[in-house]
Structure 1
Amino acid sequence: MPEIWTPLLQSVVSTKATPTRTLIILGTQPQMQRAYIDLILASRAQSISVIPCPEPVANDFLAAYTYVDVNDVEQEDTLVRLEIYTIPTLHEAHASFLAQKLSGVNIQLSEVLVTVLLNCNEPQSWAGAIADWVLYLKGVLSQIDADKVATGKDECIKRFQRLSSQPFLETAHVDRTFSIPEVVHDLEQGMYDHPLGVELLVAVLETERMETLEAQNGWTDEEFDFIQQFLRTILLKHGASLIYLNSDSDTLFPLLYHLLQIQSPVGLSDQPGFVALRPNIIDRDKIVVPSAWDSWRKIEMLKEGFDISGVSAGWELDLATDSDGSGGVVEVYEDIVPTVTPDLSGPISLAATSTATQNRRAAKEISHTYKNHASARQTKLETEALGVQEFLKLELEEISRADTVLSRDRDTDKQENENPMSPSTEESTIAQLREMGLSLKMVN
C-alpha cells in the first residue's frame, strides 16, 4: 500500500510554517551589533509589530543567536521570523559554525542576508574590513555543498538582473501585490561579476560623527565623495547594498524588506509610519544604495576623476587568496583616506589600523584553507561540517586565549599607566566568558 500520510502531513506543515529569513551580522563591538538590531525594530511601520528575543547578543569573543518575529497587527499573522546570528571576530570556529547553519536543508542561500557593520570612528579601515569579511565569508561558503552555493549564486544574480531591468520604485514597492516581469538584461560592466551566493549589505553606524570629521578634522566633499565612490564600486561587484545609519534613521527596515524579499501586508504603504525605500547619495550621513540600483555611470556622476575601472580590477587582487595583495586597492584607500585622531573619534575599536594587515592575512588563510578542503571533497555527497562538540571545544580554547590576552594587557597597562581596566571589571569579564563557555560545553 503506498504511503500517503507522510507526504500529506509534510505538505500541511510546510504550508503552515512561519517563513524565515537568516540575517548574519559581522564585525564591530557587541553593543554596536545590539544597536543595529534596535535600529531594525525602530524603523518599522506602525502596522508592523515585532517580538524580539530577550536573549543578549554576542560578546567580544563568542558568536551569538537571537531572533525577531515580524507580525501584521491587523491580520494578527506572523509575516516572517528573522533569525539573527552575530559574529564579532574573524575566527575559524565561527566560520565552521556558520557553515554548519547555512548547510541546513531549510535554508536557501538566496534568502540569507549578510551584513558587515562598520564604525564611523574608523573610516580609514572600512575597505580593509570589507575585504576581510568577504574573504571570511568565501571561506564559510566553501565548506557548503558546491551545488547549493551555485544555486544561491544563480538565484541572486537572476534576481539582480530582473530588479536592475525595472524602474526602482516599482521593484521596491513594499506591498508586492504584483509580480516582477521576467525581463533579464545583460549585466553592465562591473556589475555582480564576483557573486558570493548570498545577499550582502554594508552598514555604517553612528554617522552623526561625520559632522565631527568635517568640523574638527577638516574633511571636505573630496574625502566623503571618494569613500562613497570607492565603497559603491567594490560592493557593486558583489551585488551588495550600502547604507549609512544614524540614531534616527528610518530606512533600514524598508531596505531589509527589499533585500530579504519579505511579503508585506496589503496596504502597508498607506499605514502611519511607513517610509518608502528610496536611493539617497546626496545626504552624506544617510546614504542608501540598494542592490540592483547602482551602476558605473551613476558612481562616476558623483564626482569626476574617480578611477572606477582601476578600483574594480584592484579589488579582485585584494580578494585573491593566493596573492600578497600587491596591486590591490585596499592600501591605496588607506593611503588616501585621512586617519581620524583618537581624541576626536571617541573610543577606538579593536579593529585598529595596526592590525589590519594581520586580519587580512588571517582571513585569506581561512578562505584558502577551506577552499582546499572543499576541492578535496567535491566527489562526496555530503558536506563535512564541524561537529557541535568540536565547535564548542574551539570556542573554549578562544576563551582561554582571551583570558591570557586580558591578563597580559592588564599587566602592560599597569606598567605604562595608560588608563588600566579595573581588576574587578576585568575579572568579572573573564568570569562571564568562562561561565558562558561552561554552559556551551553542556549543550547536547
Structure 2
Amino acid sequence: MAGHKSSQGRREMSRKESEVDTGQDVENLWSTLLAEVQTSRSAQLPTTKSLLLLGDKESGKTTLIAKLQGNEDPKKGSGLEYGYIDVRDEYREDHTRLSHWILDGDTSHTNLLTFALTEENYADTTVLLCVSMTTPWNIMDQLQNWASLLQDHIDKLPLSGEEVKKYQTETWQRWQEYTEPGDEQEVASPTKRGRGLGEVEGEPDLEPLPEGTLARNLGLELLVVVTKTDYMMELEKDFDYKDEHFDFIQQAIRKFCLQYGASLFYTSVKEDKNCDLLYKYLVHRIFNFPFKTPALVVEKDAVFIPAGWDNDKKIAILYENMHSVRPDQYYTDVIARPMSVVGRKQQSSKELEVVAEEEQNFLGRQQHLLQQGVPPGGGGSGGVIPAGVQKTPDRKVVGSPGVQGSPKKMEGTPGKPLGANTSEGVLANFFNSLLTKKTGGVSPGLVQSPATLGGGSPQPETDCKFYSFLV
C-alpha cells in the first residue's frame, strides 16, 4: 500500500515538472518573438527625419518641394508651412515619411524656427538654402543672410558644448570620408550610414582640413540649391551674360559651400533638371539609400557637387575661363543688378489702369459738339480725345463714317442742303441712329450738321482731323 502511494506521488511530481517545463518553453517563445520584433523595428526607416527649407520669396522653395512630393499643383503658404514626402524602400519593402518645414521669405518670421529646429530634432534635420537664378546679383547676399539667421537661431538653442562639438565632429568626419561612387577600394565606415543609424565608438581620428573648409561648421547636413537655372538663357539674351559670368557665380557659391560643408545643386523644375537626382541624394544622406552618381560640373545649368568632393584646386579650374573678371573681385561688382530691371519695376509700379469712356456719354458729347457747330477735333475741353478711346480695325468696315465719301468732295445735290451730302451730315445721321437705337428718345431731325448751322461749306482740314480720330 505504501509502495503504491509512493509511485503515485512520483507520477504527480513528474506531471508538475513537465507543466513547468512547458510554461518555460512558452515564455521563452514569447521572448524570442519580442526580440525579433524589436530587431525588425530597429531595421525600419526612421520616422524622425525632417527637411528645413530657407530662402527669400520667389526662390522656388514651394515649387521644388512639390516636385519632390510629386505634387503638380503646389500652393504657397505663409509663415511656417509643414508637409511631408513619402519615402519608400523597395528592397526592404518599407516606407516612411520625410517631414519638411518651409519658412517664407519674410525674415520677420524667423522666430518660427523655434518649431522647426529644436535641440531634440537637431541631429535629424537637413537644411536646404534656396536661391534663384532669376536674380543672380542677389545670390550671395541671400546665402549669407540666411546662414547668419540660421546661426543666430542655433546659438539660442539649449545645446551643451559637448553636443555642439559632437555634431560638428560628425560633419567633419562625413566630409573627410567622402569617396567617389563605385570606388570599391574604400570600405564604408559606420558614419556613412547617417546620423541616428549608427554610433561612432571612441574619438574619431580627424585629419586637418584645408584653410577655409568647414570654417563655419554648423553641425548640420546642409545643401545649397540654386533653382530656376533655365533662366540662364534669358540672362544671356537680355543681359548679355557670358560663360565667364556663370563661372564667376559658380565659384563664389562653391566657396560658400566649402565654408559651411554644404552640397550644391543646380535645379530647374521647369526643365526637370537635377530634381530626381536631388531626391536620391537626400534619401541617400538621410536614410542610407544607395547612390552612384558622381559630381557633375560639365553642364553649367545642372551642376551637382556632393559634400566632401570639392576643394580650392577644383574651383580654380573655373578661373581659366575668366578673362575680363577676377575671382577675387567683389561679387556685386561683377554680377551687378541691371538698370533695366530697376526701370521695369519702377515703370510697373507707376502704371495706371485706363478705363474706356462709357458709350452713351461719348455719343452724347459728340451730339452736343455737333449742335454747337464745334469741330470734334477742334480746341476746347470738349474736343479733347479721351484716353480710353483708341483706334480699332472694325472702324474701317463699309458703312462707317470714315469710309463713306471723301472729305474733299464738297459738291451738293441740287435741291438739297449742302450739309446733307457732306460728311458732317452723314456723321450727324450716324450718331442720331445710334442714340435712337440706344435710348429711343432722340429725334433724327434733332441734330443738324455744322455746315447747315454755319451756313457755309465745311473746311477740309476739320474733316480730316475728325476722320483721323475715328479711323
The AA in structure 2 aligned to 1:98 is L
TM-aligned CA deviation for residue 161 of structure 1: 1.8
Which of 138, 144, 156 aligns to 1:143? It is 156
Whole-Å Cα distance in 2 between the matches of residues 278 and 16 of structure 1?
A: 28
Are residues 1:231 and 2:281 paired? no
Show the counterpart of 1:253: 279
Contact 1:207 1:244 in 2 (8 A): yes
Contact 1:57 1:66 in 2 (8 A): no
Contact 2:225 2:266 in 1 (8 A): yes
Show the counterpart of 1:302: 318
Q: What does 1:363-374 align with in structure 2 at a 5 Å threshold? A: none
Whole-Å Cα distance in 1 between the matches of residues 57 and 142 of structure 2?
A: 13
Structure 1 residues 302, 30: CA separation in 2 closer, same or farther (over 3 Å shift)?
closer
Contact 2:119 2:157 in 1 (8 A): no
SS at match of 1:297: helix
TM-aligned CA deviation for residue 215 of structure 1: 2.4
Q: Which has the larger radius of gyration?
A: 2
Are residues 1:284 and 2:300 paired? yes
**Deviation by residue 1:245-295 (Cα, 9 ceiling, x = unmatched):** 1231242112213432x232xxx67xxxxxx42211221100111111100
Are residues 1:339 and 2:337 paired? yes
SS at match of 1:209: helix
TM-aligned CA deviation for residue 241 of structure 1: 1.3
The answer for unaligned runs of 5 or more in structure 2 is: 1-30, 194-203, 355-471
CA RMSD of aligned residues (A): 4.1
Structure 1 residues 31, 189: CA separation in 2 closer, same or farther (over 3 Å shift)?
closer
TM-score by length of 2: 0.55
Show the counterpart of 1:263: 288
**Deviation by residue 1:182-214 (Cα, 9 ceiling, x = unmatched):** 874331222111101212111111111101111
TM-aligned CA deviation for residue 225 of structure 1: 0.8
Structure 1 residues 259, 342: CA separation in 2 closer, same or farther (over 3 Å shift)?
farther
Structure 1 residues 280, 16: CA separation in 2 closer, same or farther (over 3 Å shift)?
closer
Which of 1, 23, 42 aligns to 1:15? It is 42
Whole-Å Cα distance in 2 between the matches of residues 215 and 241 of structure 1?
A: 29
Which of 88, 91, 99 aligns to 1:71? It is 88
The AA in structure 1 aligned to 2:164 is V
Structure 1 residues 231, 70: CA separation in 2 closer, same or farther (over 3 Å shift)?
same
Show the counterpart of 1:39: 67
Q: What does 1:154-233 align with in structure 2 at a 5 Å threshold? A: 154-163=169-178, 166-167=179-180, 169-170=182-183, 184-233=206-255
Contact 1:26 1:86 in 2 (8 A): yes
TM-aligned CA deviation for residue 133 of structure 1: 0.1
The AA in structure 1 aligned to 2:288 is Q
The answer for unaligned runs of 5 or more in structure 1 is: 43-51, 270-275, 312-328, 349-353, 355-411, 421-444
TM-aligned CA deviation for residue 14 of structure 1: 6.8
Contact 2:59 2:227 in 1 (8 A): no
**Deviation by residue 1:102-132 (Cα, 9 ceiling, x = unmatched):** 3253x242x3211111121100000000011
Whole-Å Cα distance in 1 between the matches of residues 91 and 192 of structure 2?
A: 26
Count, aligned residues:
299
Show the counterpart of 2:351: 417
Whole-Å Cα distance in 1 between the matches of residues 353 and 302 of structure 2?
A: 35
Structure 1 residues 57, 215: CA separation in 2 closer, same or farther (over 3 Å shift)?
closer
Answer 1 or 2: higher relative contact order, Cα 8 Å, separation at least 6. Answer: 1
SS at match of 2:49: strand
**Deviation by residue 1:311-342 (Cα, 9 ceiling, x = unmatched):** 6xxxxxxxxxxxxxxxxx8xx21121032566
The AA in structure 1 aligned to 2:305 is V
Whole-Å Cα distance in 2 between the matches of residues 119 and 343 of structure 1?
A: 15
Structure 1 residues 190, 179: CA separation in 2 closer, same or farther (over 3 Å shift)?
closer
Are residues 1:124 and 2:137 paired? yes
Q: What does 1:325-364 align with in structure 2 at a 5 Å threshold? A: 332-340=330-338
Q: What does 1:91-110 align with in structure 2 at a 5 Å threshold? A: 91-92=107-108, 94-105=109-120, 107-109=121-123
Structure 1 residues 56, 223: CA separation in 2 closer, same or farther (over 3 Å shift)?
closer
